[in-house]
Structure 1
Amino acid sequence: MAIEIAKLRSETPGVAHRIHLNNAGAGLMPQPVLDAMVGHLTREAEIGGYEAAGEAAPQLDGVYDSVARLLGADRDEIALAENATVAWQLAFYAIAFQPGDRILTARAEYAANYVAFLQVAKRTGAVIEIVPDDGDGVLDPEALERMIDGRVKLIAITWVPTNGGLRNPAAAVGRIARRHGVTYLLDACQAVGQMPTRVDELGCDVLAATGRKFLRGPRGTGFLYVRRELMRSLEPPMLDHFAAPWVAPDRYELRPDARRFETWENNYAARLGLGRAVDYALEVGLDVIEARCRDLSARLRDGLRAVSGVRVYDLGRDPAAIVTFSVENRGADGVKAKLALSGINVSVSNPSSTLLDAEARKLPSLVRASPHYYNTEDEIDHLVSVMSTLR
């Protein structure tokens, strides 16, 4: 199946105004996503919020089916959240850690996750250990296997880190976790929407992701997958009467599904936008999206490496569609501002977002460009052309 670039761009209003290469921050929403959200907000204004939610109940319920289809999961294993960090935290903090329990993670782990590890270690006496990388800077599954013992309580990694094209071997980690019966929590924020993300193939017990990045959904949306067998043993750190109905004066009962990780009040317009974004990605096809992302990001890396004074920092043999680079004698914020004047959106990746990796590699603040399937080769080449003038 080929990607119809002209059609996709005609359904993406933002491409008329900017060259958007900040999809790792927030992708441009396609028109059907925008229509789903605006349509619901209009109905809220016309007939009332509760009434509009009741009217849209079948579509809202269908969002669980859409996310389950995206992940190859069952709908009762899916919870929706206001962002990926909340989803990840609700699952992580539901795990009961004891003194000496080991948390194994990757060197390029995201700051929000690592801060949570540090807090739990401080509270419980659990310890955090870093799985070594291989020669290409990718988490080494063989090293992980050697680290496993009876004290390993959790393996928690980021599949595609925020600060470069690295893809950690998520499925290989899953096979090790399953073999040893260790809970496996996967942060898939930068993976979902740019590549197939099937939990049965990944072998993860928990997966958290966002809607706003490569899925091209609205900000303020995220979701959580929790494997059914694990879910039944987890009580979220915070509950309300939606997650745990109050059934007697002295007793509540946890919901039997993953919605025990949700609360009663939600942004229904955003949820409908998320569901439509998931359906849109599935209609385009994750395999062809991944191939297109690979081609565009490879073109960008090759172009940047040919520019004098530009250094590309991405790791791994099979990098994802996040390209990080620096320009000699120019700060990343200044480069971003210069590109913005040329109508090009990029972002800046600061060392604090992946502190261990930044310290190990002595990384400065980096310019981060993240193309997506609706970008064109001409847009990639234009960014490279602008960079060639920054001397």
Structure 2
Amino acid sequence: MRKDLNTAVAAIVGSLPGFTFPFVAALVLTPAASDVLLLATSVAITVSVIVSSSVELTTIAEYGRVLGRDRNPAPGALRDYRRKVLLFAGAVTVLVVPALALAYAAGSPARAEFLVLACAVAPAPLLAAVASILSGECIARGGPTVPIAVQAMRTLLPAVLLAVWWDAPLVAVAAMLPAGEAARAAVLAVAARRLRAQQAGAADGALTPFGLVAQATSSGVTQLGPAVDRLYLSASGAGSVSSYEIADRLMYAAAQFVNMAFLVRRVGAWARLPTMAPADASALLRRDGRLLGIVTAVLTAGGALACLAGLASGLLPESWGQGFLWGAIVMLSLPAHVFNVVGTRLLVVARRQRWMLGIAAATAVLNAVLDTVLFLLLGPIGIVIATLLLRWTMAGVYVVLLRTAVPQTIGYELR
């Protein structure tokens, strides 16, 4: 519990400044300027999420297998692993960033400015890959505090620049996004070096980016959901994209608190499920499940009430009002979102990344259908309700899959 407290403090200290970016943008910029800046940065953030989640999870799982045998990766194996990951990240960046930027530009009223901003943020996914290799290693070695504390650094620098220089050129603000990723990688490199020095072991383990492409493809298809959301909202009038980003950030703040304060540390332990005795593994999963369930329930109720209280207080800036209303709605999807994140990590540990392709495809199709129907019926708020329904539906899918995958994984390498 003391370790959970330490990581919870790190999560709060490290995350809150970075989560302020859409709030600062909506506060100091016009609705149109805020929309174009947030839409452009979302291009790099979307691709960075695809890359970083895949790379970090794969690194944790593969390091967990090596460290579970009291080994360290061989230097040659580590170099080869890094090379493959960077080639993968480069390919994803080249393929996805231009496609996403052009799709968003088609519906943007400030098309030329948007494309300039998209170019400024384009290097971020490559830097995210470097940072994610290092954060995955730190977590697998039992040192999640630093990765947690610097998780939101990518959006911290743009938020700080905009807060202190209200009329800063938007391209300068956008360029702070890759700069934040570079700063995160530098901090993580120091932390990883210290952890390696503290942990002895024969340096003859192999690292394999097993299922990395399948996992990234799954994540990429899943990210089509928010992309479709933004496509609808970009044509819904000034302020809609900013409200969506505020609502998403409110829910995401709660989700990331659970993830970084409680889940990240446990993923490092779950990575060793294949080498654990069944009784020990079952006890571990039950204990972790109870704690995560209680924390998530409290945050869901508290987050929704806090959003509504902010609206009722009359103290919020006018540009934040719609975002807080949408935030109260989407906050109700927090338990489903957390469970889906847990499911994804357990499938990676179980090396069932191919299952994730089917999940992602189903998610993308269902999201598009719900977005279309509810947007036509209810307008922009229909996009928020579609997100709520989608997450709870997919949580049911993960329940079914994990009942098969997890028992087959426990103690697999002991048989």
Whether these two folds match at TM > 0.5 is no
For Structure 1 versus Structure 2, the TM-score category normalised by the shorter chain is: under 0.3
Greater fraction of residues in strand: 1
What TM-score do you get using the length of structure 2 for normalisation?
0.26
What TM-score do you get using the length of structure 1 for normalisation?
0.27
